[in-house]
Chain A
Amino acid sequence: MTVSRRTAIGLGIGAAGAVLVGGTVVRQRRLDREPPSPPVTDADGRVLWRNWSGIASSYPAARAAPESEAALAELMRSTPTPIRPVGAGHSFTALVPTPGTLLSLDGLHGLVGHDPDTHQATLWAGTRLGDLGPALVAVGQEMLSLPDINKQSVGGAIGTATHGTGTGYQAIHATVKDFRLVTARGEILECSPERNPEVFAAARVGLGAFGVITQVTLQNRALTRVHKRVYVQSLEQTAADWPALSKAHDKVEFFAFPFSGLAAIVATDPTDAALQPRGPDQDTDTLLNLKRLRDLLGPLPGVRRRITHALMAGLPPEESVDDSWKLLSNERPVRFNEMEFHLPRESQMVALREVMEVIERGHDDVFFPLEVRSIAPDDAWLSPFYGRDSGSLAIHAYYKDDYQRLFTEIEPILRRHGGRPHWGKLHSLKARDLAALYPRWGEAMDVRRSLDPDGRLLNRYLRELLVDG
């Protein structure tokens, strides 16, 4: 039997199509496997605790949520150790896992008082940032800056140096005017630049390793209406324009999309314009479409780039006008793991180009954008922004994907450029590495030892991070 050239080509295309479809189905099934979970209870019947992304876990012997500072102080003296405070569980690093006591501050939440003249407000550290917005509105205030999400507790956000963006805006802990700290021995300390100043300097970004912050006074501002604009343009142009963009806008950041050559700029500026509330969420749909393109075209980066570029480049800008606390934070319902380093600002774009090259050369499973922000310097001894203008780079991996290979390859780039890691996001640095990055490290550790000489607040991870790693 003879086969015509036309038939042969048709059969070939059919076979190739079948292989492509079959390969895609197999690939998608592999990519969509739920990561294995630890058992719900351990051999002693203790219930599982896991962080938001699922990679940190433990079986605490005790769980506590004291409803007064006095109850917390009493608890600190007697509960099983290590005692580890937990906020919203959004840290990716193993700050929280403990076989001892998991300590939630959910029982200590809400506004304690406010000063209308200075726009300062005192609040319990268990208050979630998302609940703080409406609570501050009631007294005519809002926080100066907010992170990308607002699920965190105030205590957790301060303790890990959580931040927003804007060249003139510091991280949240730098807006703390004073705080109250319950130590591992159950003492209650009032801390400010005037009272216990060394504890104020060392424990503001304290990882819950100096004691438990129960109350803070934040420097806020009057409610401010802002115009938020999100628009897509070339990544190269964005990187070139970044210094000018940072000067031109009150707050600005951008998301760099691998395998597209594009960036989405998010600029927020004060305005008197008429109210235009934000519409339905589009970020999640965009992200899931990027995942679909990854699933389908991952092994074909050239095709993936052309199609992604064609689909995204024409997206119309998103515009909204509202109080800033309603527009600065977002919902991020697709779980991920994250690495973020804070670099000297002059190194930020160079590092971004190097990181993007590594991703596009060898990590075709990545579909999350990189987040690029600016943070003003402060003077907290363990602040990653201590003494320098910083530019941050955050790299995300879908929670079902292999983040370790990606982050292992990227971390040396960020360290080479002088980066300090975000305390709550993944990195491999230990005490000896960190001591070289923080000018006041030794003094901070002296303060920690004096407050918790027996290490009742240290889990295994923190011992390596702060003591002997």
Chain B
Amino acid sequence: MSLDTPLRMLLGCALLGAFASCGGPPPPSPAELAARAAALSPREPHLADLYAHSCRACHAEPRANAPLTGDRGAWKARLAKGMPALLQSVLTGVNGMPAGGQCFTCTPRDYEALIGFMADEDGR
């Protein structure tokens, strides 16, 4: 590595200030996020069943272009809209997300719990 590179890294850290992650852990790679999504399942059996039959098909498959389960960065902006707005989008469908996530026996309460699980809100 030339001297130029660490200098630029240092300058970059100074300029980015609080927005930069210099010194912190690097963000997970796409492969790490995919592996994490593939490994996660809700602890509660009822939710685990619903997740396995519906959500997982897209939210654990990077090629599906959906926010991956456990990818907090991808879920942050969505959660910022608030759960009522997010639930509305889930129930009616929006963009690539089909209505209800094609979970035909999910209740609104199930959806809230599944969103919380996929967004890794409590670090499960």
Which A residues lie at the B interface, using CB under 8 A?
34, 37-38, 40, 47-54, 57, 63-65, 86, 88-89, 102, 104, 106, 109, 126, 128, 130-131, 151, 280-281, 284, 330-331, 333-335
B58 touches A49 (CB 8 A): no
> By the criterion CB–CB under 8 Å, are A151 and B57 in contact?
yes
Docked-complex contact A40 and B105, CB < 8 angstroms: no
One of A38, A50, A281 near B98 (C-beta < 8 A): A50
Contact between A63 and B105, CB atoms less than 8 A apart: yes
Which of B61, B62, B66, B104 is most buried by chain A, counting CB atoms within 10 A of its CB?
B104
Q: Could you tell me if B96 and A333 are in contact, using CB atoms closer than 8 angstroms?
A: yes
Size category of the binding interface on chain B: 20 to 34
A37 surroundings in chain B (CB, below 8 A): 92-93, 99
Closest A residue by C-beta to B94: A34
CB distance from B93 to the nearest CB of A (A): 5
Cβ-based interface call for B91 (8 A): yes
Residue B21 at the chain A interface, CB threshold 8 Å:
no
| A38 contact set on B, CB distance < 8 A | 92
Q: How far is the CA of A38 from the CA of B91 in the complex (A)?
A: 10
**A54-B99 in contact (CB<8A):** yes
B96 contacts A335, C-beta separation under 8 Å: yes
Given contacts A54-B98, A109-B53, A128-B57, contact A40 B63 (CB under 8 A): no
Contact call A88/B102, Cβ cutoff below 8 A:
yes
| Chain B proximity of A119: nearest CB distance (Å) | 26
- Do residues B105 and A104 form an inter-chain contact, with CB atoms below 8 A? yes
Instruction: List CB contacts (< 8 Å) of B48-105 with chain A.
Output: 49, 52-54, 57-58, 61-66, 88, 91-96, 98-100, 102, 104-105
Q: Does B12 sit at the interface, judged by CB under 8 A?
A: no
Determine if A331 and B61 form an interchain contact, defined as CB atoms under 8 angstroms apart: yes
- Do B49 and A333 touch (CB < 8 A)? no
With beta carbons under 8 angstroms apart, the residue of A40, A88, A102 that contacts B88 is A40
Quote the shortest CB–CB distance from A465 to chain B (angstroms): 22
Taking A48-B91, A50-B93, A331-B61 as contacts, is the C-beta distance between A106 and B100 under 8 angstroms?
no
**Chain A residues near B94 (CB, 8 Å)?**
34
A284 B65 Cβ-Cβ under 8 A: yes
For residue A106, which residue of chain B has the nearest CB? Answer: B53
Q: Nearest chain-B residue to A288 (Cβ)? A: B65
The reply to whether B100 and A50 form a contact with Cβ atoms under 8 Å apart is yes
Residues of A within 8 A of B58 (CB): 331, 333
In the complex the two chains form, what is the Cα distance from A333 to B66 in whole Å? 8
In the complex, are the beta carbons of A333 and B53 less than 8 A apart?
no
Query: What are 28 A-B interface contacts by the 8 Å CB criterion?
Result: A37-B92, A37-B93, A40-B91, A40-B92, A48-B100, A49-B104, A51-B98, A52-B98, A52-B99, A54-B93, A64-B105, A86-B104, A89-B104, A102-B104, A104-B104, A106-B49, A106-B53, A128-B53, A131-B52, A280-B62, A284-B63, A284-B65, A330-B63, A331-B58, A331-B63, A331-B64, A333-B65, A333-B66
CA distance A333 to B62 in the complex (A): 10
Q: In the complex, what distance in Å separates the CA atom of A48 from the CA atom of B102?
A: 12
Q: Which A residues are in CB contact (< 8 Å) with B98?
A: 50-54, 89, 335
How far is it, in angstroms, between the C-alpha of A422 and the C-alpha of B53 when the chains are bound?
Answer: 25
Measured in the bound complex, the distance between the Cα atoms of B95 and A359 in whole Å is: 24
Over the window 90-124 of chain B, the binary record of Cβ atoms lying under 8 Å from chain A Cβ atoms (1 yes, 0 no) is: 01111110111010110110000000000000000
Please give me the residue from chain B that is nearest to A102 by CB atom.
Answer: B104
Query: For residue A106, which residues in chain B have a CB less than 8 angstroms away from its CB?
Result: 49, 53-54, 104-105
Among all A-B residue pairs, the 5 with the closest Cβ atoms? A50-B99, A37-B92, A331-B63, A281-B63, A333-B65
Q: From residue B63, how far is it (CB to closest CB) to chain A in Å? A: 4
How distant is the Cα of A49 from the Cα of B66 in the complex, in angstroms? 21
> Do B102 and A89 touch (CB < 8 A)?
yes
A65, B96: Cα distance in complex, Å:
26
* B53 close to A48 (CB less than 8 A): no
Q: A284–B61 Cα gap in the complex (Å)?
A: 14
- Min distance, Cβ B15 to any Cβ of chain A, angstroms: 32
Chain A neighbourhood of B49, CB < 8 A:
106
In the bound complex, what is the Cα–Cα distance between A50 and B100 (angstroms)? Answer: 8
CB contacts (< 8 Å) of A54 on chain B: these are: 93, 98-99
- Nearest-Cβ distance from residue A74 to partner chain B, whole angstroms: 17
Neighbouring A residues of B61 by C-beta, 8 Å:
331
Chain A residues within an 8 Å CB radius of B92: 37-38, 40, 48, 50
Using CB atoms, name the residue of chain B closest to A400: B95
What are the residues of chain B within 8 A of A281 when measuring CB–CB? Answer: 62-63
CB-CB under 8 A from B100, the residues of chain A are 48-50
Q: Measured between C-beta atoms, what is the minimum distance from B24 to chain A in Å? A: 27
- Closest Cβ neighbor of A37 among chain B residues: B92
A333 vs B61: C-alpha distance in the bound complex, in angstroms? 11
Bound complex: CA A38 to CA B66 (Å): 23
- Minimum CB–CB distance for A38 against chain B, Å: 8
Residues B12-53 near A (CB distance < 8 A): 49, 52-53
Which residue from chain A places its CB closest to the CB of B107 in the assembled complex?
A: A47
Bound-complex Cα distance A339 to B100 (A): 24
A52 to B99 alpha-carbon distance, docked (Å)? 7
Q: In the assembled complex, how far is the CB of residue A76 from the closest CB belonging to chain B, in whole angstroms?
A: 17
- The listed residue with most B CB atoms (<10 A of its CB), out of A64, A109, A333, is A333
Residue of B with least CB distance to A130: B57
Contact A334 B104 (CB under 8 A): no
14 extra A-B contacts, CB within 8 A, seeds A50-B98, A89-B102: A37-B93, A37-B99, A40-B92, A49-B100, A63-B105, A65-B104, A89-B98, A106-B49, A281-B63, A331-B63, A333-B58, A333-B96, A334-B96, A335-B98
